[in-house]
Each structure stands twice: as structure tokens, then as C-alpha cells.
Amino acid sequence: MTLVAAFQVDNVPILVGDTRVTGREQSTFAKKIYRFGPNFVVAWAGSQVAANLALQELYRRLHGSWVRKTNVEDILTSFSAEDFGALNTHLIGWIIDEEPRCFRWNSGYPKELYYGPHHIDGTGEQYFLNLLTAKKPGGGRGEGPQYSVLVALNAVNEAIMQEALNPEGWDKSFGFCYELLYFHRGSFSYVDSVTFFMSNYHWDETTKTGKVELGPIVSKYTNLSECAIFQRMELDQTNRVVELVNYPITPTFDPMRHMDLSGMPQELASEYYANYVIFRGTKENFQVALVARAGSPDQPISINPRDGTIHMPPEFFNHVYHRHRHSTAQKSGNDNEVSIRQYQLAPQLNYLIGGNLCNAFTLGEVGSQDDFFLVGSENDENGLHAVITGNILDSSGQVAMRIVRNAVVYCRDTGGGKLLRSHWGYDLLDGTGRVLFGVRTYEEVLPGLGNQSRNVIVVKGDFYDKSGRLVFRGNFGEVGEFVPDHVKAIFGCLDNQFGAVQNMNQRDMDIADVILQSKSAVHELLSGKVESEDVSLDGKILCDAEITHCQISIRTGQFAMIGKDSLKDNKIFFSGPASNIHRLIKQNKGERTD
């Protein structure tokens, strides 16, 4: 039983290897992957004796140096099949010189290295390849190499826990511990540490919520440069470590038999946390592998480094459970929960608002200064984050907070307006610390989309208009979320075409179109008579506005004019980017411009 894998996730080369060496009578822990140079890593499968012969020669001649493809080929092809007798080993790995090169070498046919996009070897080969194809980050979010590591760790987490749950199927996976190397900023690095948990989630149909319980056995991998340690811990009912066993993981050709493990602490804290959760519902059970990096807010499990307490946010697990129930019901055609309507979908990022999945949306009196509205725009940087603008009112109809492109520009309460960011979104707090508005971005596989994974933005909160009437209840896209029929709304906007429109006249739609097309850079309505005031046009939509004897300032130049607007006897002051355009026009006065 073994598995080693060399592959890429989003162009990041990764090498994974288990740490179990199976003998005739017993199994021991030993390294399967090695970093012999900053740009050269290798893993072995098969006979340990045969592998050591090749590994020792690679180590002796290449260790610590910058390695080229020809260096590795010269060493490995110098062997003959007779050097290994009846024993056989396979080496796979990465050489990063002019380009990333993934190779495989077979001691039975030693005169050639085989290159390909990936190489996986061992009894868990096909199973692990299927897990990688799913390409799930496992609950955590990240960018670049961090995302790639999360995908690889999640595949490993899934394989390890499936093996633990199904010991008779060990041929599908590869043991209880692994190591991982990834290429970033010119060299390969080990993942420093990972703590593995197994949890049970129990859904209570009466209270409509769930409870998460941590399993009693926890394991942890810690890298110690070119060796490592695997720790098996047993927890008591308060989640404190009551029993600890340490296992050294050392190079097979330099076993370091006298490695002193007595000083290794029994800490649960790690660089990454992998939580395999068994969800137990009223009708069915299902499993989800979750991985997140320590320090990322809103992660599925976290540990306080000061006192070692473990926190698993129930909100997150309730969301996963509801999402699974909803997806299952949709696929079976028996959906009694939120039905999803689709409008103008974007390829990567969409909003789910009141059962409407769309690339952008508006709710309420868009652009108003004193009434509720909420706009979700497309991200102008093709990022995976929401862009939210609007007014949030309390149940008495008073404006409690204004948001412009996720930034709080006004908060009525002293000390309020705090924005708590996390990997998956943010929460906006009032002066008492209460969450007024929550935003999350989750990766979802939604029915009707060919099982494609999409990033979906959902929101939570009760939203009122200036009369104190409830106009939207957000529940992170789950049961209980709704947009009343009387509320003005648009779901989906692509090339000036709306997907679905509710209770909006032409003027409302013109204003909404300006806001959505500008991605909320223009967001505040200005209409009627304005006289003898200081007026900033930045972010404004002039609609049937009559501005006279005012001092008008323009800095960004981002404003719009629709309807019948009149500007008379005003002084206009330009600054910032707008001053450049103004200066250009003055310098080219008399020249034709288009």
C-alpha cells in the first residue's frame, strides 16, 4: 500500500508522498519524498532497497545544488537493470529548469526518463487522480500557491479519512500520514504542519440547527526540514490531549534511529487544519472533507494558540448541511426548499438572492439617499469577491449604514461600521457589535449547470425601507430567504440587457443600468432643484436635476447624466484625474474632438 504523486494545480508543481513502508511482517514510517535541490524533488515507490541505491547516488551528487534535466538523466540512466537484481522501484518527481518537467523512472528500464503532465504511482493511483480531478479547495479559500496547496491537501484528507472509515478498502488510499512539497518563488517548500480531525455533525429537525462534535483521535504532521514527525493524540471530553505517541519520519537511506522525540510538544496548532466531517441528518448521512489555513477567519476549524481551545463555527456547518440537502432535492426533483432561477450567469462569480442566481442584482430604490437599496455588481478585476453598495435601514426606517463597494461610508452609531473580513466574505457591525449585514462567497456545484463548480455570493440580514416595512430577508441563500413581490428588483444584467425585472419603471431601470454598468462607481441619485450649495459630482447620477449658483467639484470624473438636466451659473473645480482631462481640453481648445 503506497502512493506518490507529482502533479500541478493551477500551474503550481506539487509532490505528495505517503510515509508508510510496508514490510513482510510490519509497517514502519519513512520518507517517500525528498528535496535534493531548490528545483529538484523526487519520490519513490516499490522496493525500499532498490530505491535507496538510486536515491543515495542522487543525494551524493546533487544535494543542495541547482539541478538541470541532464544532471538527473546522466545519473539515473547510468544504472543497469542488473544493478537492482529482482527488485524494482519507480521514481517520480519534478525538475524545474527552463520549464517544469514531471518525470518517471523505472529501475527495470533505467536507460530512459519518461516525461508527462503528471505521474502518480502506487496502489492508490486512480483513486487519488479522481480526487484531484474534482479540484476542490475543501472549504478554505486562497489564491495562487495557497489555493493549489488547499486543493492537494483536500484530496489527501479525503483519501486518508476514507481509508480510516473503510479499512477493508486500503488499496484505494495510502496510509495515515503524508508529506507535501510545492514550488513557489523559485524553490520547493514543504507544508510545515497539518492537524487532522474527524468530526460528527448531528442535525436537529426540531430546532432546525446542528451540533458539531469532535472525534477523540487527532493526528498531526510536522516537518523538521528533511525529516518529520507524525503525532497521534487522544482527546478527552474537553478536547484536551490525554495521550500522545510520536513517530519519526526519516530518510530511508539515513534512518536517524536515535532521533530524540521526547521534547516534541503536544500542540494541536498547525499551519493547516484538515477536518473530515460526517453529517448525520434525519434521512441520510454524507461526508465532507474540509481544509483551511490557520489564521484565515471563518474557517471550518480553528485553534486558539494561547489556550489550545478548538472552535468550529456552527453557522458554517449548518450552511454546508443545507446546501447538500438543497442540491440533493433539486437533483431528485423533490425540492421543498429554495428553488433557483438563473439569469445572465457569469462564468466565475454570481449572486444568489432570494432564489435568483445572477451575475448582478439591484433591490429597492436604487441610488436613494434616504431609502433602502442594495446593489451587487460584477467585480471589475475578475476577482472572486462581492461588490456591494447600498443603504441599510433599521426597523424604524432610519438609515443605519451606507456602503459603497464594500466600504462603510456612513454609520449612524458611534463605534459602529466595523467591517470584519474573512476568507469567505465579511460582516458589518452596528455600534452594539450586532451583525447588520453578512456576505459570504462559497464554491458551489449547482444543479442545471452540468455539475460545474461556481463561486456563489450569498447575504444575510433583515432589510427595511423608510416606512419600516421588511423588504428583503437574506439567509445566506437558505430556507427562509425571500424578496417580497412589491419590492423593486433586477436580477441579472449583461450588455445592457436585464435578466428579470420586478416592479420597476423606465426611469428606475435607467438609474439601475448606470449603477450596474459602472460597477457601482456611480451610485447616488441627484435630482430636482439644487441651489447655492457645494456639490460633488463624483459618484452621482444626475436625473432631471437643476443645479444653479453652486460650487461643483469633480475629482474622479465618474458621474452620469440622464433625463433633462440643467446646470447654470455654477463654478466648477477640477482636481485629481478629472483635472488632467480638463487641462487637456483647455490645451486643445479649438481643435476637433470626438
pTM (predicted TM-score): 0.65
Which one of 3.30.230.70, 3.40.50.300, 3.60.20.10, 3.30.1280.10 gives the CATH number of domain 3-184? 3.60.20.10
Q: In this predicted structure, what is the pLDDT of residue 148?
A: 86
Distance of alpha carbon 54 from the chain centroid: 40
Number of Cβ within 10 Å of residue 256's Cβ equals 12
Q: What percent of the chain has pLDDT over 70?
A: 83
pLDDT digits (tens, 9 = 90+) for 109-142: 999 999 999 999 876 666 777 766 655 555 544 5
Task: Report residue 250's pLDDT band, with 50, 70 and 90 as the boundaries.
Answer: confident
Q: In this predicted structure, what is the pLDDT of residue 264?
A: 75
pLDDT digits (tens, 9 = 90+) for 219-228: 999 998 888 9
Task: Report residue 75's pLDDT band, with 50, 70 and 90 as the boundaries.
Answer: very high
Evaluate if residue 333 carries a pLDDT over 60: no
Scan for cell 463597494, then name that residue: 405
Q: In this predicted structure, what is the pLDDT of residue 173?
A: 44
Q: What is the largest CA-CA distance in the chain?
A: 98
- Give the Å distances, CA to CA, from 404 to 381, 392, 398, 517, 520: 16, 11, 18, 15, 7
pLDDT digits (tens, 9 = 90+) for 454-479: 788 999 999 999 999 999 999 888 77
Evaluate if residue 160 carries a pLDDT over 80: no
HSE (side-chain half, CA atoms, 13 Å) at 50: 23
pLDDT digits (tens, 9 = 90+) for 398-424: 999 999 998 889 888 766 667 776 656
Q: Are the C-beta atoms of 497 and 459 separated by less than 8 Å?
A: no
- Residue scoring higher pLDDT (384 or 314): 314
Rounded Cα distance, 388 and 409, in Å: 12
pLDDT digits (tens, 9 = 90+) for 181-229: 999 999 999 999 999 999 999 988 777 778 899 999 899 999 988 889 9
SS3 145: helix
Q: Which of 338-352, 382-396, 541-555 has the highest mean pLDDT?
A: 541-555
Evaluate if residue 522 carries a pLDDT over 90: yes
Rounded Cα distance, 158 and 197, in Å: 12
Rounded Cα distance, 352 and 329, in Å: 17
Q: Are the C-beta atoms of 293 and 150 separated by less than 8 Å?
A: yes
Task: Report residue 528's pLDDT band, with 50, 70 and 90 as the boundaries.
Answer: very high
Q: In this predicted structure, what is the pLDDT of residue 110?
A: 96
Rounded Cα distance, 120 and 60, in Å: 26
Q: In this predicted structure, what is the pLDDT of residue 570?
A: 94
* Mean pLDDT for the stretch of residues 438-450: 69
- Residue scoring higher pLDDT (293 or 81): 81
Which grid cell sits at 9?
A: 494545480
Query: Which amino acid, residue 62?
Result: L
pLDDT digits (tens, 9 = 90+) for 15-39: 999 887 665 545 577 889 999 999 9
* Mean pLDDT for the stretch of residues 94-113: 95
Task: Report residue 171's pLDDT band, with 50, 70 and 90 as the boundaries.
Answer: very low
The sheet that has 571-574: what strands, in order across it? 534-536, 551-554, 571-574
Q: In this predicted structure, what is the pLDDT of residue 6?
A: 95
Query: Which residues, at least 6 apart from 429, have a Cβ–Cβ distance to it below 8 Å?
Result: 416, 417, 418, 419, 420, 435, 436
Rounded Cα distance, 165 and 155, in Å: 15
pLDDT digits (tens, 9 = 90+) for 334-356: 544 456 788 988 888 899 999 89
- Residue scoring higher pLDDT (52 or 433): 52
Helix (H) or strand (E) segment spanning residue 334 = none
Residues of the chain with CATH 3.60.20.10: 3-184
Q: In this predicted structure, what is the pLDDT of residue 170?
A: 42
Distance of alpha carbon 70 from the chain centroid: 39
Please give the mean pLDDT across all residues of the chain. 84
b/e burial code for range 358-390 (CB count within 10 A of at least 16 → b): bbbbbbbbbbbeebbbbbbbbbeeeebbbbbbb
Q: Are the C-beta atoms of 471 and 363 separated by less than 8 Å?
A: yes
Tell how strand 453-464 and strand 349-353 pair up: parallel
Q: Are the C-beta atoms of 503 and 487 separated by less than 8 Å?
A: yes
Q: Are the C-beta atoms of 222 and 231 separated by less than 8 Å?
A: yes
Closest Cα to residue 324, out of 449, 520, 478, 171?
478
Beta bridge partner(s), residue 248: 229
Q: Are the C-beta atoms of 169 and 476 separated by less than 8 Å?
A: no
Lowest average pLDDT, out of 27-41, 263-277, 432-446, goes to: 432-446
